[in-house]
């Protein structure tokens, strides 16, 4: 090789380094995403200090705890939302060449590894959701670049038995904290294994019945969403509320929250109607909601009365009533629709047919509306729904879409925030034995993540700051920003 020997040696060294750095990963066919190879024993994903990051689009989450001591000397000081501060930014560092004034990722001293179990459905019919959450979690692992963190994905197979088995495997491998599972039945089964082990669980289910006693739910609560959207509507002068809800566990929770949000507010009335999610048609519940028969009878009585009056004003009113549909106006001015997908798309024209005029009735939604298909639905224009402050996670959303063709959803983003929360607590802990204690996890100042500011409550639920969005032709627009802090408390 002569004079080229040095070049060949250098190339061999580079190739070997890349193999060592990336050997635990493969490209997922068709999606171009980075994935950890997994077998029955789940190969851990660890952030190595010598892994080249120059070409990784790094986004450091602003998930920093107020009141914690600073991390190592080369890390930015932890912060939390302050009452007068603007909403926390998730973009503290964008990699090499970032603009002046931006921070850099923490580089904690190497110590004992922190093993993070991530329980998700990675195979089976629910694998798509699990794989996307795992991708977001892996991105957080690389963004924080802490060599102590070892992410251990374990497959729950989307079942109770699979979740219990994965939880036992996690404890057998000496994990320090458990993230996931995703679904309620999985959380219940896995928690039955982890409770009493001293290892906290931060799960992604929204079922409040599985929270508490060492299990925290990082998910979005329908109760908080309903409280936020109803309170905002009341603040805008609306007083007559109605709700159309699915006959399901989710619908029951929304119904209870709806009653609580409208109770005790002077002058507020509410009307509640259920529909069956598996019903082929929604005509019956919409007919009940709009009270069509009673309205038709009342309108007919008005027409009959006006026909007997010689007064010119009454005759003008009679002409107006005859010119329109025989249905009078509905007795509510807002309608909460806790639905998505096909049901929601079918409701728009059906409601109009039964006399609900979207120019006079404000449609309200829950977090289920935070979806591109729903936001593009013409019949919902002007509707309001609660969501995370969009700008906070926008850079992560852009990266996931551009690099992996994966849309960042509220559920997917939980994977990022969960790992980022662990990384933040690990970097700021003075006592490693207490880094994931209940006291640390439930710090009342809260955290700022790509889903906005949030804090874990002692009972296991998560309190979140939510914005109010309005559906407009160009997309969903913030009409009431999310609070920038938990001072004063957002939930009383």
Q: Where are the domains of the chain?
A: 28-217+390-464, 222-291+330-387
Specify the range with the lowest mean pLDDT, choosing from 107-111, 127-131, 200-204, 355-359. 107-111
pLDDT digits (tens, 9 = 90+) for 444-472: 999 999 999 999 999 999 999 999 999 99
Cβ-contact 93, 103 below 8 angstroms: yes
CA distance 330 to 357: 9
Residue 69 has pLDDT above 70, yes or no: no
C-alpha triplet 431, 456, 142: angle, nearest 5°: 65
Cβ(177)–Cβ(430) under 8 Å? no
Do 222-291+330-387 and 28-217+390-464 have the same topology in CATH? yes
Q: How far is CA 144 from CA 46, 83, 416, in A?
A: 11, 26, 11
In this prediction, residue 92 carries a pLDDT of 26
- Stated as kind and residue range, the H or E segment containing 166 is helix 160-172
Mean pLDDT of 293-301: 67
**So what's the pLDDT on residue 95?**
30
Residues 6+ apart with CB under 8 A from 377: 344, 345, 348, 471
The residues with which 478 forms a beta bridge, in sequence order, are 469
Residue 91's SS3 state is coil
Instruction: Please check whether residue 49 is in contact with residue 110, taking contact to mean a CB–CB distance below 8 angstroms.
Output: yes
Kind of pairing between the strands at 467-472 and 384-387:
antiparallel
Query: What pLDDT is recorded for position 333?
Result: 96
DSSP character for 435? Answer: T
| Residue 455 confidence (pLDDT) | 96
**CA-based torsion, 14, 20, 22, 28: positive or negative:** positive
What pLDDT band is residue 317 in, cutting at 50, 70 and 90?
Answer: confident
Backbone angles phi, psi at 280, to 5 degrees: -75, -25
Domain range 28-217+390-464, CATH class? alpha beta
Fill in the DSSP letter of residue 380. G
Secondary structure class of 140 (helix, strand, coil): helix
Three-class SS state of 425: helix
- pLDDT of 2 > 60? The answer is no
**pLDDT top residue among 304 and 89:** 304
Name the E strands within 314-426. 334-337, 362-365, 384-387
The whole-model pTM stands at: 0.75
Q: What's the CA gap between 225 and 221, in Å, rounded?
A: 6
The predicted structure's pLDDT at residue 39 = 36
Mean pLDDT of 288-303: 73
User: Per the structure block, which two tokens stand in for 34?
Assistant: 């980075």
Residue 353 has pLDDT above 60, yes or no: yes
Nearest to 205 by CA among 321, 151, 126: 126
Query: Do residues 397 and 387 make contact, with C-beta atoms less than 8 angstroms apart?
Result: no
Half-sphere exposure of 171 (CA within 13 A, CB side): 17
Whose tokens are 């024209």? That residue is 349
Angle at 385 between CA 352 and CA 121, to 5 degrees: 110
* Mean pLDDT of the region 371-385: 94
Handedness of CA 317, 319, 321, 324 (dihedral sign): negative
Can you give the pLDDT at residue 76?
A: 32
Condensed to tens digits (0 to 9), the pLDDT of residues 99-118 reads 222 223 444 456 789 999 99
**3-12, 75-84, 293-302, 483-492: least confidently modelled range:** 75-84
Cα separations in angstroms, 237 against 116, 194, 384, 395, 480? 48, 48, 14, 36, 15
**For the CA atoms of the chain, what is the radius of gyration?**
27
Encode pLDDT of 142-171 as tens digits.
999 999 999 999 999 999 999 999 999 999
Residue 101 near residue 381, CB atoms below 8 Å:
no
Which pLDDT tens digit goes with each residue over 401-438?
999 999 999 999 999 999 999 999 998 877 877 899 99
For residue 38, is pLDDT > 50?
no
Q: What is the pLDDT of residues 236-275, one digit of tens each?
A: 999 999 999 999 999 999 999 999 999 988 889 899 999 9
CA 301 to chain centre: 50
What's the CA angle centered on 461, arms 156 and 208, to 5 degrees?
Answer: 65
Q: Tokens standing for 384?
A: 């309001």
Q: What is the CATH superfamily name and number for domain 222-291+330-387?
A: Response regulator (3.40.50.2300)
Please name which of 47, 46, 89, 96 lies closest in space to residue 64, comparing C-alpha atoms.
Answer: 89
Closest by CA position to 85, among listed 479, 468, 465:
465
Q: Which residues contact 491 (CB under 8 A, 6 or more apart)?
A: 224, 227, 463
pLDDT tens digits, residue range 166-224? 999 999 999 999 999 999 999 999 999 999 999 999 999 999 999 999 999 999 999 99
**Residue-wise burial string across 286-320, b where 16 or more C-beta atoms lie within 10 A, e elsewhere:** bebbbbbeebeeebeeeeeebeeeeeeeeeeebee
Q: What percent of the chain has a predicted confidence (pLDDT) above 90?
A: 59
Cis ω before 264 (30° cut-off from 0): no
């Amino acid at each position: 090789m002569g004079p080229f020997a040095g070049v060949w040696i250098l190339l061999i060294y580079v190739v070997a380094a890349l193999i060592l750095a990336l050997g635990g990963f493969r490209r997922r066919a068709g999606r171009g995403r980075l994935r950890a190879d997994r077998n029955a024993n789940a190969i851990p994903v660890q952030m190595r200090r010598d892994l080249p990051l120059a070409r990784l689009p790094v986004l450091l989450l602003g998930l920093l705890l107020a009141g914690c001591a600073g991390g190592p000397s080369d890390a930015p000081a932890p912060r939390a939302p302050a009452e007068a501060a603007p909403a926390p930014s998730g973009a503290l560092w964008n990699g090499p060449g970032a603009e002046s004034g931006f921070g850099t990722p923490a580089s904690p001293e190497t110590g004992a590894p922190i093993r993070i179990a991530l329980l998700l459905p990675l195979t089976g019919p629910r694998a798509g959701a699990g794989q996307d959450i795992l991708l977001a979690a892996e991105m957080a692992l690389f963004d924080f670049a802490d060599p102590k963190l070892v992410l251990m994905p374990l497959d729950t197979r989307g079942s109770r038995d699979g979740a219990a088995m994965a939880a036992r495997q996690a404890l057998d491998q000496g994990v320090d904290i458990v993230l996931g599972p995703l679904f309620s039945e999985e959380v219940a089964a896995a928690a039955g294994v982890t409770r009493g082990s001293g290892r906290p669980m931060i799960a992604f289910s929204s079922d409040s019945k599985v929270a508490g006693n060492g299990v925290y739910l990082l998910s979005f609560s329908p109760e908080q969403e309903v409280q936020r959207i109803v309170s905002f509507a009341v603040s805008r002068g609306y007083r007559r509320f109605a709700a159309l809800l699915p006959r399901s566990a989710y619908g029951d929770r929304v119904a209870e929250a709806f009653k609580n949000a409208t109770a005790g507010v002077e002058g507020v009335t509410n009307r509640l109607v259920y529909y069956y999610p598996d019903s082929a048609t929604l005509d019956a519940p919409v007919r009940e909601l709009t009270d069509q028969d009673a309205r038709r009878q009342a309108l007919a009585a008005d027409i009959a009365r006006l026909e007997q009056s010689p007064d010119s004003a009454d005759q003008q009113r009679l002409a107006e009533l005859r010119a329109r549909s025989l249905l009078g106006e509905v007795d509510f001015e807002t309608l909460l629709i806790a639905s998505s997908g096909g049901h929601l798309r079918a409701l728009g024209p059906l409601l109009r047919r039964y006399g609900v005029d979207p120019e006079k009735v404000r449609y309200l939604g829950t977090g289920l509306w935070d979806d591109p298909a729903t936001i593009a639905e013409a019949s919902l224009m002007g509707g309001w729904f609660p969501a995370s402050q969009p700008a906070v996670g926008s850079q992560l959303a852009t990266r996931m879409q551009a690099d992996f063709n994966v849309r960042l959803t509220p559920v997917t983003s939980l994977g990022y925030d969960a790992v980022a929360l662990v990384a933040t607590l690990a970097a700021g802990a003075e006592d490693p034995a207490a880094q994931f204690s209940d006291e640390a996890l439930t710090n009342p100042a809260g955290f700022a993540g790509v889903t906005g500011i949030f804090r874990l409550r002692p009972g296991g639920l998560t309190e979140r700051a939510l914005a109010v969005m309005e559906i407009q032709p160009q997309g969903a627009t913030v009409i009431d920003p999310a609070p920038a802090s938990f001072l004063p408390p957002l939930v009383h």
